[in-house]
């Protein structure tokens, strides 16, 4: 549990660390894999199936806007090659009795995702919240056999705000005390961050609201902003509503 007490220093900004642990996979990742039997093969297989699901979601989103079925999908061709799309496991471990949270500390702090669509599979513990356009936080209650689909920043930009990328966060459990004492349940989620091909020109479908931008340049701009202002501020919603 030492890792739970470790402070995280983000670029340009000292923030309270999120109370979670993660394993991140992206195609052509050369980092060593955990030495667990069949783990690598199973993980890559799950990633592949998430990719199939994302393509179907992109088709539905396009059709809902009276666009051609392949409008978004055709710009997501490199998902299983090196690029921005990643899949992450997130474990929010149970807290030891002597763990004391600090002011403002959450299991996962408020942020938006930078890509197009994020797909989440969460267990039945709960804690995920999204912020509405009016600023209200609402619970995303777990439901067996379902996925959570969230719009990310580039899709909001692409659709000229017809789709909204909601800020979201993960709170402590409803029955936890302010100090986390009694938080005896771990939370686990599997998150697929869908991103367009790096050379995609993202231009508002109605030609207004946002200037066209190349997807890879958008990420570079955000990373540069984060290096100057800190990730905490940069992760907060970056687009006008």
For the chain, counts of helices (H) and of strands (E): 5, 13
pLDDT band at 17 (very low <50, low <70, confident <90, very high): low
Instruction: Look at residue 24 in the predicted model and tell me its pLDDT.
Output: 87
Instruction: Look at residue 84 in the predicted model and tell me its pLDDT.
Output: 73
Instruction: Look at residue 157 in the predicted model and tell me its pLDDT.
Output: 95
What does pLDDT average to over the chain? 79
Domains for the chain: give ranges and CATH numbers.
2-235 (2.60.120.330)
Least confident of 67-76, 147-156, 184-193, 228-237: 228-237
Q: In 3D, which of 161, 225, 233, 212 has the Cα closest to residue 14?
A: 233
Reported as a single tens digit per residue, the pLDDT across 44-87 is 999 999 999 999 999 999 999 999 999 999 999 877 766 678 89
In the sheet that holds 108-111, the strands lie side by side as 108-111, 168-170, 128-131, 137-139
What torsion do the CA atoms of 225, 229, 230, 235 make, to the nearest 10 degrees?
-60
Instruction: Look at residue 5 in the predicted model and tell me its pLDDT.
Output: 33
Average pLDDT for residues 23-43, to the nearest whole number? 86
Reported as a single tens digit per residue, the pLDDT across 124-154 is 887 788 999 999 999 899 999 999 999 999 9
Instruction: Report the alpha-carbon distance of residue 140 to residue 67 in Å, rounded.
Output: 29
Reported as a single tens digit per residue, the pLDDT across 80-119 is 766 678 899 988 777 666 666 555 555 666 788 989 999 9
Reported as a single tens digit per residue, the pLDDT across 214-223 is 998 998 888 7
Instruction: Report the alpha-carbon distance of residue 181 to residue 108 in Å, rounded.
Output: 18
Token pair for residue 97?
């009795």
Instruction: Look at residue 29 in the predicted model and tell me its pLDDT.
Output: 73
């Amino acid at each position: 549990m030492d890792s739970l007490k470790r402070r995280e220093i983000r670029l340009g900004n000292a923030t309270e660390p999120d109370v979670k642990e993660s394993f991140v996979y992206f195609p052509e990742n050369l980092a060593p894999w955990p030495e667990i039997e069949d783990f690598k093969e199973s993980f890559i297989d799950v990633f592949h199936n998430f990719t199939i699901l994302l393509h179907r979601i992109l088709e539905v989103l396009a059709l809902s806007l009276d666009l051609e079925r392949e409008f978004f999908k055709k710009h997501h061709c490199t998902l299983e090659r090196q690029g921005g799309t990643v899949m992450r496991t997130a474990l929010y471990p149970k807290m030891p009795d002597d763990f004391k949270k600090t002011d403002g500390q959450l299991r996962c702090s408020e942020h938006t995702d930078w890509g197009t669509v994020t797909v989440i599979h969460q267990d039945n513990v709960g804690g995920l919240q999204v912020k509405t356009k009016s600023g209200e936080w609402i619970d995303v209650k777990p439901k067996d056999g379902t996925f959570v689909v969230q719009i990310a920043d580039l899709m909001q930009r692409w659709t000229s705000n017809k789709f909204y990328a909601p800020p979201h966060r993960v709170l402590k459990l409803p029955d936890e005390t302010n100090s986390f004492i009694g938080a005896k349940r771990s939370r686990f989620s599997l998150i697929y961050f869908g991103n367009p091909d790096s050379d995609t020109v993202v231009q508002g479908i109605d030609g207004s609201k946002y200037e066209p931008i190349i997807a890879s340049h958008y990420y570079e701009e955000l990373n540069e902003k984060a290096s100057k202002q800190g990730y905490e501020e940069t992760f907060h919603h970056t687009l006008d509503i």
